[in-house]
Amino acid sequence: MEGFDASRRSAHSASTHVFTFFRQTEPETWESSRAAEVFLTTLQVLKNRAGQRYKRDVKIPELLSWEDVELIAELSQCFPATHLAVCQQSHLNKYRSISGVCNNRQNPLWGAANTALVRWLPAEYEDGEKEPKGWNRGRLHNGFQLPQPREISKEILQSSSKHKEDIYSHLLVEWGQYIDHDITFTPQSTGSAALWTGVDCLNTCENVHPCFPIESDDILSGAQGCMAFYRSTAACSISSGSDIGQALQRQQMNAITSFMDASVVYGYTPKLESFLRDLSGRNGKLAVNNQFEDPKGRPYLPFVATLPSACHQDPQGERVECFSAGDSRVNEGLPLTALHTLWLREHNRIAEALKHINTHWDPEVIYQETRKIIGALHQIITMRDYIPKIIGPESFEYYIGPYGGYDPTMNPSASNVFATAAFRFGHATISPILRRLNKTFQEHETFPHLRLHNTFFSPWRIVSEGGIEPILRGIIGSPAPAVSAHVLMAEEVTQRLVVLGIPQHLDLASLNLQRGRDHGLPGYNNWRAFCGLKGIKTLDDLKKTVRDSKVAEKILKIYKHSDNIDVWLGGLIENLLPDSRTGPLFACLIGKQMKALRDGDRFWWEAEGMFTKQQKTELSKGSLSRIICDNTDITEVPSDSFRFGKYPTDYISCDHIPLMNLEAWREEKSQDSERCTSPAKIKNGDFILSSTSGKLVALYSCYHGFKLKGTAAVVCEGNRWGGQPPQCTGNHY
């Protein structure tokens, strides 16, 4: 979601502080985006100067050679620092890097954090380089002006009708948001970009970078006549190509790893990973909250480092700060926070078990092996239990199909159209009510249902109002709203949405439409052609696709030309495929993305050498129902928690939910390790044991903030370790 909150604050300064906190990203992300802005601004200055001199619009390819562009990129620090040689290091072969770098040895930045979202079709900017569709007021597209997003939202997307109930539980909606946060995060240009122009996007209705306000003539626009909108931050994306113009188009950043790797649990930078780990405990576990735990002594997520935090507080209760997790959006909503809490507990549960099974494992191995299992469970639950329900079994077979092994030629990076349009299909299934249920799956007698806007950035409700169980029961025991073309978006998000830092109500539908234009996404028809689907030329064509003639008529009336239809809207209103929650276009785009994420991931759970046959058998038993059973007070669940069932007839005892046997991870001590005993421990670092060319090797690494001094690898030779272990020097920060 666009990172929204429905607090009713209007105090400008207070909410601005909150906004900057919640949109904050890791320092590496800001450094990378700043470099991209320096690079693009330099090109713009050169263009402007040339334009003034020659009294005409001058394009970059007329001014600069590719060598010039590379030099400017280098001076802007916009060149990647990763070289192929780095990826040959043996410790990167056994476990994923935290940033996703070197997953693909030949293309080390594929799927890595802080790289550009990939383009499956070239961007369509009004100036060919960076200006979004709708930037130049009065510009015609196919002979017509583009309709304003707010107008589209009011005419087509808003609905006061009640959604029909789905065969699936609301967990399907919540898992969609959770797993999206494992794959994509596009930060907005609220900070660094504004430095170049000095523009305050809250106080302008002009299109001046980084501001791209949404025009509106209704109450939502306030006195200004527009809704504030920040453009997505730029990414460094300099790739050699014959078309220098296309190569220099503005690209948007994916701040997190594209891989389905549980970065949502572990983070995507070494600093964040270190913060989330319990390094002092030397047990391979994740850090837990040191102030609160649930009534049964189960842990909550740790608080953020910077206090006081900006999360809402219980007016009558003890202060509860924002929680911290691998993804900064963890506090956006209570179900999301509950899912994060589940996985924290599951990691620590598995780590504890592995420590008992393999007493000779050092803390680093326990942590990495547990992380590997948790990543595999994220992949299994998403690909086996979630995606087939979203795109339908036929599309799953057609676009994804059976696994054929790792394909190093497949780019697993998240695509712009997936992140900005296709995977936002779930916004049409947001429920305006969060239900909280008791042990018999009835409305909770102490903690009643909540309006959506009372659930955002409110971790205090978990600590003070019964833990995560009432929320989890609510999303398992409530049907998901079904999608139809004439009931698209709940008024709670089109009329009463409040984004932190913007002192006016907003509209999620308008934000999504404007975001697609900000990113220069080609139109609906272009994407239908990309997917091999028939183009929409006439009203009859659209009626066949939408199956709701009134909606089709409204769309063509407002857009006036079928080629102007925004891809997010077009995909959203299509008639659903059998047994799916999407139409043909989004089924195609989501299917293609999922195949890329699976086949282009060297560490996919089914890839050769990742797990033993026995371990794969045990992992296949994993399910969200089992994880809920193992980490909460809930004792009865549906066998597939994504399916909505009536209580108690469709529920079974946790005793009958298959259990993963971690004995499959029992590892006998090798003869070498018996001879050499355990390698020396080092301060501020750790080691993992690896077998290289038939020899046992201890591979040392330092925790974030420390530098390795000495040799990283110490070999077991004869009956002792050859050479001294390294030291980790420096100050931890």
Q: Which residues are the active-site residues?
A: 181
Say how many C-beta atoms besides its own lie within 10 A of residue 500's C-beta: 23
For residues 597-609, b (16+ Cβ closer than 10 Å) or e, as one string? Answer: bbbbbbbbbbeee
- Strands of 619-681, DSSP E: 636-637, 652-653
Instruction: Give, as one character, the DSSP assignment of residue 443.
Output: B
Residue with tokens 């009011």: 154
Residue with tokens 């209705």: 205
Spatial CA neighbour of 252 closest among 328, 188, 179, 182: 188
Report whether the peptide linkage leading into residue 213 is cis, meaning its omega lies within 30 degrees of zero.
no
Instruction: Give, as one character, the DSSP assignment of residue 551.
Output: H
- Specify whether the CB–CB gap between 616 and 423 falls below 8 A: no
CA 547 – CA 225 distance, rounded (Å):
35
- Specify whether the CB–CB gap between 215 and 150 falls below 8 A: yes
List beta partners, residue 45. none
Spatial CA neighbour of 390 closest among 173, 645, 646, 120: 173
CA 526 – CA 583 distance, rounded (Å):
16
Question: Which is it for strands 115-116 and 253-254: parallel, antiparallel or unpaired?
Answer: antiparallel
CA 327 – CA 92 distance, rounded (Å):
23
Residue 474, token pair as written in the block: 């609510």
Q: What angle do CA 30, 459, 177 make, to 5 degrees?
A: 60
With helix as H, strand as E and coil as C, how does 524-549 read? HHHHHHHCCCCCCCCHHHHHHHHCCH
- With H, G, I as helix, E, B as strand and everything else as coil, classify residue 66: helix
For residues 68-82, b (16+ Cβ closer than 10 Å) or e, as one string? Answer: ebeebbeebebeeee
Residue 141, token pair as written in the block: 């597209």
Instruction: Give, as one character, the DSSP assignment of residue 555.
Output: H
Amino acid at 569: L
Amino acid at 597: L
- Specify whether the CB–CB gap between 231 and 518 falls below 8 A: yes
Spatial CA neighbour of 221 closest among 121, 307, 151: 151
Spatial CA neighbour of 543 closest among 534, 535, 553, 533: 553
CA 432 – CA 349 distance, rounded (Å):
34
Question: Which is it for strands 158-159 and 489-490: parallel, antiparallel or unpaired?
Answer: parallel
* Residues ≥6 apart with Cβ < 8 Å to 58: 47, 50, 51
